[in-house]
Structure 1
């Protein structure tokens, strides 16, 4: 039985800014791009959230919801510095750490002798250290697996702790709204609701074969999560699977030719980033991403055997047709990297 802790800092970027300038604490605050440059909110404090402001929201929309919103551009160097201190605290309690972002990580403390072997007490100690040393707050979830630990860390935000003991897993998962399961977005949740599936117990009432037939891989995942199952280990080394570049434009691109004209600059930047990770001739996939004026987006990908610059234009043309005349606010290009572990296994002698 694993003991997994999921630590998630509370509104991290905004919290760091409030720590640096306490005068911001009582103001609605957001970190993000300027409205006149098609900016997006990266994060916001809880004062701003009371107005309906959320991460990934267009800055212009956030300002309509909260005209007094204090918008800061962000200081990534400072956030990375604080993140290094944060991960230093994690390392005191476990060598098995899977970072998810600057401010979020899984820790496997299954074999830890600290705090009498109690994952709950370890999580409390980590949160105390963060508060004392960094003057920031973190929320934590403790559970027998990663899926439940992540769900648990959201239960008592901000500055909270929630524990799901092994004996509570089945009951908790049965009452869990499916929309809260990572990987279930709004569209998927609507599709599930149309089929009468809202909670974990609704999934378990279906025959597994019917779930797989109607929902494919999502059905398989739901069958496991509805029982509170997740056998994924905490991965201390995560191989990069892709490299991408995207850009949001000041005005919607209304013509396909305008979008195609954006490709050379994007591909030049992508090629530069790619060379830091693998040789261009070794890439295995190329893709185009378009985000339309209504914030809907589409992606077109193709498997390749090496860098094919001309393919991006053909993929963009296919993606453009899906817009049905809508303007495009964002264009992204990406490549898939080879699975080096699988390649090493193929190279092993019999």
Structure 2
């Protein structure tokens, strides 16, 4: 069957683009990660059917539960009918999952030389191990394969593990080839063999040292590695023996296009409509109704090419070159690099959804904002503070980075009975401002700082997004800190003089240039019926804020001085950039 399809004139593989085979990528996927976190806390759960609930659905479940017909993303009521003895644990607080994910990622990163270790969500990790594999390739002795030694350090020759290089570790696709003289003449075969043993060693250490089993895919790019890992789950690994282009294409042909990383709901559905000559219809948002056609069916379609895909997928707002990108993915071509690891994340985001019971009242809003903000502050302390610092007192710890921007995002549901209810809007609305510097204080607990953050910053941002008093029908709230600035030394961000002294004494120095209004002023805050304090604004002020989407602007006092929106101090024109940096430094 494969021979016939290979000879088809219009098969896209006849015009396959070239991809370098120099890289070696590992893709780790922790088995039933959320459930495993609870099982590590309570080992007695390992023999029981366990489901991790979030709201009214199962975020995931362990393999004992799956053996009884339970599936992830299933309604809890349906899962309990299938498995009455299902043990439900609450997984709405992601803190413990993030902590475990960071610990496992740190372990894998410690075994990387180039630090290209990229997290995908909480339970998947890509590793580019090309350099460590190239190093060990030079050390391999073909005359003593059964007693080989893999060096994990180029500085310490004794750090590593022994392995049998007469065969690959774990499963392969296709079935493992026998070692012939011509096979050893292929450098790629040797690199894949070494990679399979490194993957096996790391998986064993993850389970032995941390208690987490995992599945791994080994190949020459991220897409192939991720797909290879799905072949033999759980607690296993698969190496894609991509020694020829025909092997790679045969591997890709078996997959439904929706399962290919980078082929989202919309993309796969539009391709399916074209292949099946189906008129355009609503794009689904769930796997149950996603595209089912395979890569083979797409590439065997008459006149299929990257240009055709560009016409099918292109349009206003689409990615430039989307046709060529999808064309390459269908051939197993993926030049995307594994991102270099960073000690701190590029942003920290906390969110929750309220699909079954949207938020509509002030009391509900305040409760959720305080809860999300407290989680955000705890996350910042975990991800952005030096773990190696002395912890005799909380104030002795040091910040590794300071995010400069606070962003609030929301999504609303269509009101019942409205015409737009049948086509839900999945877009988000956002507003941003500089992050107040008091969040970096270590004199107060995260909960107290979170409460102040809500009152001083998040509620005003919310008012800019939704000026109604209630009835917003909120289905999602996201609070994010981003625009990270790394700490350059233990005293602050970057080097040079500490300019904070200048700003601490600026009020006295500018006193003679400042005009004060001593007339009585009304309280700028007004409490609504629920007790929420919201800043009173004139229609002109509200209009000014609404036009300022991504930052809080400076208020001009006269031609030469301005009022800082964060601290209220009067700043001369020449000192504005320095004053903004002062806030980025923290107090």
Change (3 A) 1:190 1:100: closer
State the distance in 2 between where 1:263 and 1:162 align. Answer: 47
Whole-angstrom distance in 2 between the partners of 1:62 and 1:126: 34
Partner of 1:32 in structure 2? Answer: 53
Contact 1:141/1:150, CA 8 A, preserved across alignment: yes
- Whether the aligned pair in 1 keeps the contact of 2:409 and 2:479 (CA below 8 Å) is yes
The two structures, once aligned, show a CA RMSD in angstroms of 4.2
Calculate the TM-score normalised by the size of structure 1. Answer: 0.73
| Deviation for aligned residue 1:72 | 1.7
2:237 is aligned to 161
Q: Deviations over 1:183-204 (max 9, x none)?
A: 4455654443333272223444
Q: 2:216: which partner in 1?
A: 140
How far residue 176 of structure 1 moved from its aligned partner, in angstroms, is 2.4
Q: Which residue of 2 aligns with 1:300?
A: 427
Alignment check: 8 A CA contact 1:203 1:223 kept: no
Q: 1:290 to 1:153 in 2, by over 3 A?
A: farther
Q: Which residue of 2 aligns with 1:240?
A: 346
Tell me which protein shows more helix as a share of its residues.
1
Residue 66 of structure 1 and its aligned partner are, at CA, apart by 2.6
> Which residue does the alignment assign to 1:179?
258
Instruction: Find the counterpart in structure 1 of residue 88 from structure 2.
Output: 71
Shift of 1:302: 5.5
Alignment match, 1:2: 23
Alpha-carbon displacement from aligned partner over 1:102-122 (angstroms, at most 9, x marks no partner): 432111110103538521111
Of residues 92, 109, 134 in structure 2, which corresponds to 1:91?
Answer: 109
- Aligned with 1:48 (options 33, 50, 65): 65
How far residue 123 of structure 1 moved from its aligned partner, in angstroms, is: 0.6
- Residue 247 of structure 1, CA deviation: 4.1
Matching of residues 316-327 of structure 1 within 5 Å: none
For the 8 Å contact 1:99–1:106, the answer to whether it is kept is: yes
Instruction: Note the residue ranges of structure 2 that are not aligned, 5 or more in a row.
Output: 1-21, 137-149, 151-189, 277-292, 381-401, 435-460, 486-587
Cα–Cα, structure 1 residues 51 and 291, in superposed 2: closer, same or farther, change >3 Å? farther
CA contact (8 A) 2:410 2:430 kept: no
SS of residue matched to 2:261: coil
* Cα displacement string for residues 253-277 of structure 1 (whole angstroms, at most 9, x for unaligned residues): 4xx9x27875555566677859966
Aligned CA distance change for structure 1 residues 151 and 178 (closer, same or farther; 3 Å): same
**Alpha-carbon separation, structure 1, partners of 2:341 and 2:107:** 18
Q: How far is 1:246 from its partner?
A: 2.5
Q: Which stretch of the first structure deviates more once superposed, 195-204 or 97-106?
A: 195-204
Give the C-alpha shift of residue 150 in structure 1. 1.3
Q: Which residue of 2 aligns with 1:110?
A: 130
Quote the offset at 1:213 in angstroms. Answer: 1.7
Q: Which residue of 1 aligns with 2:294?
A: 199
Change in 2 beyond 3 A, CA 1:213/1:164: same
Q: How does 1:222-301 map to 2 (within 5 A)?
A: 222-237=326-341, 240=346, 243-248=349-354, 252-253=357-358, 258=360, 263=365, 273=376, 278-280=403-405, 287-290=409-412, 298-301=425-428
Distance 1:261 1:185, change over 3 A: farther
Deviations 1:301-344 (A, max 9, x none): 467674854442279x9xx8xxxxxxx6833245695698xxxx
Residue 219 of structure 2 contacts residue 228 of structure 2 at CA under 8 Å; is this kept in 1? yes
Gaps of 5+ in 1: 321-327, 341-350
Following the alignment from structure 1 to structure 2, what is the Cα–Cα distance between the partners of residues 242 and 22?
31
Q: Which has the higher contact order (CA 8 A, sep 6+)?
A: 1
> Residues 50 and 110 from structure 1, CA distance in 2 versus in 1: closer, same or farther, beyond 3 angstroms?
same
Q: For the residues of structure 2 that align with 1:303 and 1:39, how far apart are their CA atoms?
A: 27
- State the partner residue of 1:346: none
What displacement does 1:30 show? 1.1
The 1:82/1:336 distance shift into structure 2, 3 A limit, reads closer
- Shift of residue 11, structure 1, vs aligned partner: 0.8
Distance 1:16-1:245 versus aligned 2 partners, 3 A rule: closer
Work out whether residues 6 and 140 of structure 1, in 8 Å CA contact, stay in contact via their aligned partners in 2: yes
Count of residue pairs the alignment pairs up? 322
**In 1, are the aligned partners of 2:411 and 2:429 still within 8 Å (CA)?**
no
Q: Distance in 2 between the 1:191 and 1:27 partners?
A: 42
CA contact (8 A) 1:291 1:298 kept: yes
Contact 1:39 1:59 in 2 (8 A): yes
Query: Compared with structure 1, are the counterparts of its residues 221 and 261 closer, same or farther at alpha carbon in structure 2 (3 Å cutoff)?
Result: farther
- Does the aligned pair in 2 maintain the 1:144–1:165 contact within 8 Å? no
Matching residue within 112, 129, 145 for 2:205: 129
Aligned counterparts of 2:365 and 2:235: Cα–Cα separation in 1: 44
Assess, with a 3 A threshold, how the Cα gap between structure 1 residues 6 and 174 changes in structure 2: closer, same or farther: same
Residues of 1 paired with 2:362 and 2:335: CA distance? Answer: 43
What secondary structure does 1:47 align onto? helix
